């Protein structure tokens, strides 16, 4: 196997993955900014950008398949890396969909004044995007320690989500005419909460690449189980 060719291909695949991640990070940040600023033009652009993200994801997936067929990175770290990039790009594509979903909400709300000041939702976006950025970095750097630390930050995102949820439910009770927008904002918060959850999956893959161990990192679901 020509090792230099393989190393070059693996580097290109990782760079492509980083570009895809940057596109998703920008889309998420821009979608929440557009929502906050009632910027409908930007919201429309984000929806269009999602098509580009999807196309790049397929391109990257195709590149991976071609790499497997031509230079056969089928052993040990090489294999774990390409298999994990496939997984990560699929996560990134779904995250791109969340950004698109938020942009759609921005369009649905339009110029209608917000029923509450948007403070926690942008904070959720900031945290989730930061987690995403660092998880992909940990993946490329094979940084097990960082990858293990990041999922715990999801607790903060979850706490903010619960706070937004309670707040919106209260507003709905107090002012039934706000139900439509409250419901849309709930959708936004939910998208951001899911996005942060998915970062854990990227961290799991980062650890897998670094160590060969495949294990779930997400926080315990015990509180839900005990509530049943």
Partner 1 sequence: MSLSFKIQTANNLEAIDFNPDGVHAIEVKSLNVYYGSFRAVKDVTLGIARQKITAMIGPSGCGKSTVLRSFNRMNDLVAISRTEGEVLFHGKNIYEPDVDPVEVRKRVGMVFQKPNPFPKSIYENVAWGARINGFKGKKSDMDNLVEQSLRRAALWDEVKDKLDQSGLSLSGGQQQRLCIARTIAIVPDIILMDEPCSALDPISTLKIEDLMRELVQDYTIIIVTHNMQQAARVSDYTAFFTLTDNRAGFLMEYGDTTQLFTNPKEQVTEDYITGRFG
Task: Give the interface with partner 1 as residue ranges (CB under 8 A).
Answer: 1-3, 6, 72-80, 211-213
| 17-51: b (≥16 Cβ within 10 Å) or e | beebbebbbebbbbbbbbbbeebeebbebbbebbe
Indicate the residue among 5 and 218 with the shorter CB distance to partner 1: 5
Q: Is the dihedral of CA 125, 185, 169, 151 positive or negative?
A: negative
- CB of 56 within 8 A of CB of 64? no
Q: Cβ of residue 76: shortest distance to partner 1, in angstroms? A: 5
Q: Is the dihedral of CA 168, 170, 173, 178 positive or negative?
A: negative
Q: Cβ of residue 135: shortest distance to partner 1, in angstroms? A: 21
Taking the CA of residue 119 as centre, how many other CA atoms within 13 Å lie in the half-sphere pointing to its CB? Answer: 4
Indicate the residue among 11 and 183 with the shorter CB distance to partner 1: 11
What are the backbone angles phi and psi of residue 148, rounded to the nearest 5°? -75, -30
Q: Cβ of residue 169: shortest distance to partner 1, in angstroms? A: 47
For residues 78 and 223, what is the distance between their CA atoms, to the nearest angstrom? 38
Indicate the residue among 79 and 171 with the shorter CB distance to partner 1: 79
Q: Cβ of residue 142: shortest distance to partner 1, in angstroms? A: 13
Q: Cβ of residue 77: shortest distance to partner 1, in angstroms? A: 6
- CB of 168 within 8 A of CB of 185? yes
Indicate the residue among 80 and 205 with the shorter CB distance to partner 1: 80
Q: Cβ of residue 137: shortest distance to partner 1, in angstroms? A: 23
Indicate the residue among 176 and 212 with the shorter CB distance to partner 1: 212
Q: Which two tokens stand for residue 49?
A: 């950008």
Indicate the residue among 119 and 214 with the shorter CB distance to partner 1: 214
Q: Cβ of residue 75: shortest distance to partner 1, in angstroms? A: 4
Indicate the residue among 79 and 179 with the shorter CB distance to partner 1: 79
- Please list the helix, strand and coil fractions of the chain in percent, rounded to the nearest 5, in that order: 85, 0, 15
Nearest Cα to Cα of residue 204 among 139, 156, 158: 139
Q: Which two tokens stand for residue 178?
A: 């706000």
Question: Which of the 8 DSSP states describes residue 220?
Answer: P
């Amino acid at each position: 196997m020509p090792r230099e060719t393989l190393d070059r291909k693996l580097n290109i695949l990782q760079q492509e993955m980083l570009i895809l991640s940057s596109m998703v990070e920008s889309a998420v940040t821009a979608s929440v900014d557009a929502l906050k600023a009632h910027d409908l033009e930007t919201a429309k652009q984000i929806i269009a950008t999602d098509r580009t993200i999807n196309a790049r994801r397929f391109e990257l997936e195709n590149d991976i398949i071609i790499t497997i067929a031509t230079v056969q990175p089928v052993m040990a770290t090489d294999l774990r890396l390409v298999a994990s990039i496939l997984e990560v790009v699929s996560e990134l594509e779904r995250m791109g969909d969340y950004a698109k979903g938020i942009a759609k909400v921005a369009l649905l709300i339009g110029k209608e004044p917000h029923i509450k000041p948007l403070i926690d939702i942008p904070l959720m976006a900031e945290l989730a995007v930061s987690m995403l950025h660092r998880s992909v970095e940990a993946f490329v750097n094979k940084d097990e320690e960082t990858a293990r630390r990041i999922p715990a930050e999801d607790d903060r995102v979850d706490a903010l989500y619960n706070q937004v949820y309670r707040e919106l439910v209260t507003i709905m009770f107090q002012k039934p005419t706000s139900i439509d927008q409250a419901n849309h904002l709930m959708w936004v918060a939910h998208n951001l909460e899911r996005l942060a959850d998915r970062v854990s999956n990227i961290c799991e893959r980062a650890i897998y690449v670094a160590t060969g161990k495949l294990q779930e990192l997400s926080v315990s679901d015990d509180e839900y189980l005990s509530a049943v």
